[in-house]
């Protein structure tokens, strides 16, 4: 058992932190307020393999282990969660299904472009009537000739406004006419692929989250991911992986908020001494630090299981549930420690506070995580 | 193809570290290490020369086992080979001893070395001595504080900023140059590079014996300097109140401070008082 970071993980953290602090910190507040996707920074990130973290070398990726990839998402999110979101969705739920389920031709056609970041990916399951209930997708894919024709609307698509390729969950008919969900690789240039307005969200505002509309959008048969009817299987497996990414993101936000709170508590003078000398503030900081440490260990354990090829769904849900819960708590305490200033856009903790909340919602709500965890625990035999 | 050796150093990541009052050295154990910033510029300079003219870039450091980290980072940036000199016997070397040891390593490990690059100075001790001393040890021409390098044939052209003008020097290989932080902004290592640095390359670890350095050598070529005392300079502000009529107060103020003010502004203000 190894609890201390190895030299490689330390260097990867330093490297991502240096990049985030140099390139993203100066603009993080501005792009949040202006809802601007920072293409100029994304261009720099492409060359450094941020968009192919775990893609094998032969497709131009960095072939990193899962803890390394989590560290990268953590460090970017520590400074700018909206860009962290772009990175984790692209790697965790757009590329991952290609690695797991794509055939050789699909890998050849899409992975090098995705890994280079020249093509940005998205994953679209959610619809107006299908959120936690992933089986209620209403988008349809009907086969005519050699193409499937997609019709329907996807909402809250992370990277939706800029994605070049999206994995779309749609209903298809089985040979015996039963409806089942399948996944299609859809390029933004296909006719009938339309983007909605960008969402005006509480947090993660620099990420171009939007709806996607499909109006008789033809998708070649070769772009069916996995087999017909594999939708649920691909969706669940992908979400397991995506949860590691969102946990890392939540952890990064919590870390950033705690550091800001510690710095402020040492500087802010009330009653002629720094507020850090007050026991109440010290208790807040002790709780924050303890919960962040526990969250990190839980997350890296899920990563380690994944790399060992062991089932990791339950552990990924635990990590996601815990990291997002403490992210909300830590960011709230960080605002509290800042007092009135923390409620102002002048300080970063106001943004961290808004960004943290959604980590309890997307990639499976905390309620769904508990369902997944309880199901796994209850299905174990009693010894 | 050119052989470029870059000498780099691991330094503490924070700007102010507590001193160990007994030994007069920095409490390095309290901080995470990082590559000295000027050394990173030197690595960048070597990599740009490699891209332009073709070269093998060999990074060299002396330090504890943890100094491996800065070598891995240089490999991730694009260096080809790395050497760590690591031996308790060599711990605490001053610049004189360090340059001797580095020279032995270059002679033994990179005999056909054309160019040695160093950071102009380190962020922890800032002596700026090791580069020029190493050139002396190897009997090479040296230029310090370079901001740009060009090569034509066997001639190295070095541009550097000296006080308020730029000068360009030329020298023949083999040569040593220390690189300033004016130009050569270090690149970010890519994640593929970082992964490669841990899977694709081994680090050659050499102890004193492997370099042929014995206790007898260190007797004559070891550290000549001893840190007698280290102290943190204390500054204090003093509030002085001068009261009374304006003319008297001004007179008293000048009596007290005219020497200090004269020293700060660089000319005497005594004459003013008399008028």
* 3 state DSSP class of A324: helix
Q: Answer yes or no: is A297 within a domain.
A: yes
Whether cis (ω within 30° of 0) applies to the bond prior to B174 is yes
CB contacts, 8 Å: A116 with chain B? none
Residue A112 burial (CB < 10 Å; 0-12/13-18/19+)? middle
Q: What angle, 0 to 180 degrees and rounded to 10, lies between the N-to-C axes of helices A39-47 and A81-89?
A: 50
Instruction: Please name the member of B68, B188, B198 whose beta carbon is closest to the beta carbon of A15.
Output: B188
Residue with tokens 């000549």: B224
Contact list in A for residue B69 (CB cut-off 8 A) is: 7, 10-11
* Nearest-Cα residue of chain A relative to residue B192: A62
The answer on A237 and A371 residing in a single domain is: yes
Residues A84, A155: one domain? no
Q: Which member of A10, A12, A14 has the closest CB to residue B191?
A: A12
Confidence tier at B19 by pLDDT (50, 70, 90) = low
How distant is the Cα of A64 from the closest Cα of chain B, in angstroms? Answer: 7
Q: What is the mean pLDDT of residues A176-205?
A: 96
Determine the pLDDT at residue A345: 96
- Give the Cα separation of B117 and B128 in Å (integer): 13
- Compare B274 and B92 and report the one with higher pLDDT: B92
- Min CA distance, B68 vs chain A (Å)? 9
Q: Name the closest residue on chain B to residue A72, using Cα atoms.
A: B191
Is pLDDT larger for residue A33 or for residue A1? A33
Give me the pLDDT at residue B25, please: 66
Cα(B196)–Cα(B199) distance, integer angstroms: 5
Contacts A–B by Cβ distance under 8 A: 53
Cβ atoms of A72 and A90 within 8 Å: the answer is no
In a domain, A87, yes or no: yes
For residues A53 and A133, state if they share a domain. Answer: no
Distance (Å) of CA A108 to CA A113, A115, A228: 9, 11, 21
Please answer whether residues A164 and A187 qualify as being in contact, where contact means their C-beta atoms are separated by less than 8 angstroms.
Answer: yes
Distance CA A86, CA A37 (A): 9
Q: A156 lies in a domain?
A: yes
Q: Are residues A196 and A300 in the same domain?
A: no
Which pTM does this prediction carry?
0.89
Q: Look at residue B201 in the predicted model and tell me its pLDDT.
A: 76
A372: Cβ contacts below 8 Å, ≥ 6 apart: A313, A314, A317, A364
- The strand pairing partners of B150, in sequence order, are B157
pLDDT band at B270 (very low <50, low <70, confident <90, very high): confident
List, in sequence order, the alpha helices (H) in chain B. 37-53, 68-77, 95-109, 130-138, 191-199, 215-221, 246-265, 270-274
Please write the tens of the pLDDT for every residue from B174-224.
999 999 999 999 999 999 999 999 987 789 999 999 999 988 888 878 888
Distance between terminal CA atoms of chain A? 25
Token output for A39: 């293409």
Angle value at C-alpha B87, between B82 and B90, nearest 5 degrees: 110
- Identify which of A206, A218, A192 has the alpha carbon closest to the alpha carbon of residue A162: A206
DSSP E strands: which ranges in chain A? 121-124, 140-144, 147-157, 165-173, 179-187, 193-198, 210-220, 224-225, 269-270, 273-274
Domains held by chain A: number? 3
In a domain, A1, yes or no: no
- A243 and A339 inside one domain: yes
CB atoms near residue B221 (< 10 Å): 18
ipTM: 0.90
Mutate to test the interface with B, among A5, A7, A24, A65 (most CBs of B within 10 A): A7
Residue at token pair 């008919």: A173
Q: What is the CATH number of the domain that holds A50?
A: 1.10.540.10
Q: Do B192 and A14 touch (CB under 8 A)?
A: no
Residues of A tagged active-site: 363
Q: Is A101 left (phi over 0), alpha (psi -120 to 50) or beta?
A: alpha
Q: What is the CATH number of domain B2-221?
A: 3.40.50.620
- pLDDT bracket for residue A194 (50, 70, 90): very high
Sorted by sequence, the CB contacts under 8 Å of residue A265 that are 6+ apart come out as A274, A275, A276, A281, A285, A337
What residues make up the domain containing A64? 7-119
Average pLDDT, chain A: 96
Based on the fold, state whether residues A127 and A187 are members of the same structural domain.
yes
Q: Over the stretch A315-329, which tens digit does the pLDDT of each residue have?
A: 999 999 999 999 999
Do the chains contact at A61 and B189, CB–CB below 8 Å?
no
Set of chain B residues whose Cβ sits within 8 Å of the Cβ of A48: 188-191
- Residue A53 has its nearest CB partner, among B34, B73, B191, at B191
Q: Which is it for strands B175-179 and B142-152: parallel, antiparallel or unpaired?
A: parallel
For residues A225 and A246, state if they share a domain. no
Chain A closest-CA separation from residue B193 CA (Å): 8
Kindly report, residue by residue over A340-372, the tens digit of the pLDDT.
999 999 999 999 999 999 999 999 999 999 999
**Inter-chain contact B194–A61, Cβ cutoff 8 Å?**
no
- Average pLDDT, stretch B36-65? 97
The answer to whether residue A2 is domain-embedded is: no
For CATH 3.40.50.620, list the domain ranges present in chain B.
2-221
- Which residues are A212's β-sheet partners? A154, A195
Judged by CB atoms closer than 8 Å, whether chains meet at A8 and B198 is answered as yes
Residue in A11, A47, A57 nearest the CB of B190: A47
Backbone angles phi, psi at A20, to 5 degrees: -60, -40
On whether both A280 and A325 belong to a single domain, the answer is: yes
β-strands B155-162, B142-152 pairing: antiparallel
Mean pLDDT of chain B: 89
- Whether residue A238 is found in the same domain as residue A208: no
The pLDDT assigned to B52 comes to 97
Is A373 within a domain? yes
Helix (H) or strand (E) holding A233: helix A231-267
**In terms of domains, do A288 and A370 share one?**
yes
Q: Mind telling me how many Å the CA of B13 is from chain A's nearest CA? A: 11
Q: Would you call A64 and B72 a contact, using CB atoms and an 8 Å cutoff? A: no
Going from the C-alpha of B12 to that of each of B61, B74, B106, B118, the distances in angstroms are 15, 17, 25, 18
Tell me if residue A124 falls in helix, strand or coil: strand
One domain, residues A129 and A168? yes
A259 shares its domain with A350: yes
């Amino acid at each position: 058992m190894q609890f201390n970071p190895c030299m490689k993980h330390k260097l990867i953290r330093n490297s991502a932190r240096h990049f985030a602090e140099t390139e993203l910190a100066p603009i993080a507040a501005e792009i949040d307020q202006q809802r601007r996707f920072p293409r100029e920074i994304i261009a720099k990130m492409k060359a450094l393999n941020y968009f192919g973290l775990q893609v094998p070398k032969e497709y131009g990726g960095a072939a990193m282990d899962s803890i390394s990839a989590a560290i990268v998402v953590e460090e970017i999110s520590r400074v700018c969660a909206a860009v962290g979101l772009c990175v984790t969705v692209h790697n965790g739920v757009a590329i991952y299904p290609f690695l797991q389920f794509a055939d050789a031709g699909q890998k050849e056609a899409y992975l090098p472009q995705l890994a280079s970041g020249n093509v940005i990916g998205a994953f679209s399951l959610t619809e107006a009537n299908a959120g936690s209930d992933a089986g209620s997708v209403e988008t349809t894919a009907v086969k005519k000739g050699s193409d499937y024709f997609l019709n329907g609307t996807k909402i809250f698509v992370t990277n939706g406004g800029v994605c070049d390729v999206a994995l779309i969950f749609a209903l298809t008919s089985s040979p015996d006419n039963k409806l089942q969900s399948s996944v299609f690789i859809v390029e933004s240039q296909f006719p009938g692929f339309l983007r909605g307005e960008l969402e005006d969200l509480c947090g993660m505002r620099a990420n171009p989250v939007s709806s996607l509309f499909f109006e008789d959008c033809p998708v070649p048969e070769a772009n069916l991911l996995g087999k017909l009817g594999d939708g649920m299987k691909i969706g669940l497996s992908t979400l397991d992986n995506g949860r590691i990414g969102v946990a890392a993101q939540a952890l990064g936000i919590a870390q950033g908020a705690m550091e800001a709170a510690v710095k402020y508590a040492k500087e802010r003078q009330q009653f002629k001494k720094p507020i850090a000398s007050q026991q109440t503030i010290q208790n807040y900081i002790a709780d924050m630090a303890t919960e962040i440490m526990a969250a990190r260990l839980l997350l890296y354990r899920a990563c380690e299981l994944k790399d060992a090829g062991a089932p990791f769904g339950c552990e990924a849900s635990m990590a996601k549930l815990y990291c997002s819960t403490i992210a909300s708590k830590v960011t709230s305490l960080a605002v509290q420690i800042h007092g009135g200033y923390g409620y102002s856009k002048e300080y970063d903790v106001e943004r961290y506070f808004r960004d943290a909340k959604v980590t309890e919602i997307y990639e499976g709500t905390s309620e769904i995580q508990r369902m997944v965890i309880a199901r796994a625990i209850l299905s174990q035999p009693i010894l | 193809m050119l052989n470029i050796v870059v000498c780099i150093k691991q330094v503490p990541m924070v700007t102010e570290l507590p001193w160990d009052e007994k030994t007069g050295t920095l409490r390095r154990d309290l901080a995470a290490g990082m590559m000295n910033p000027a050394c990173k510029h030197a690595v960048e300079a070597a990599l740009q020369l490699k891209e332009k003219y073709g070269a093998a870039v060999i990074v060299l450091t002396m330090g504890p086992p943890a100094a491996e980290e800065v070598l891995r980072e240089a490999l991730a940036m694009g260096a080809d080979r790395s050497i760590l000199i690591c031996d308790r016997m060599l711990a605490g070397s001053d610049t004189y001893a360090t340059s001797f040891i580095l020279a032995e390593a270059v002679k033994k490990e990179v005999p056909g070395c054309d160019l040695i690059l160093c950071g102009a100075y380190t962020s922890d001790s800032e002596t700026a001595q090791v580069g020029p001393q190493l050139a002396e040890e190897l009997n090479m021409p040296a230029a310090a504080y370079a901001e740009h390098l060009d090569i034509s044939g066997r001639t190295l052209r070095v541009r550097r900023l000296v006080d308020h003008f730029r000068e360009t020097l030329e020298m023949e290989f083999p040569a040593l140059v220390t690189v300033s932080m004016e130009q050569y902004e270090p690149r970010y290592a890519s994640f593929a590079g970082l992964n490669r640095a841990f899977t694709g390359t081994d680090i050659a670890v050499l102890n004193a014996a492997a370099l042929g350095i014995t206790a007898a050598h260190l007797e004559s070529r070891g550290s000549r300097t001893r840190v007698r005392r280290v102290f943190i300079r204390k500054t204090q502000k003093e509030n002085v109140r001068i009261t009374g009529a304006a003319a008297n107060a001004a007179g008293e103020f000048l009596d007290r401070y005219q020497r200090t003010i004269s020293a700060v502004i660089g000319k005497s203000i005594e004459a003013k008082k008399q008028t």
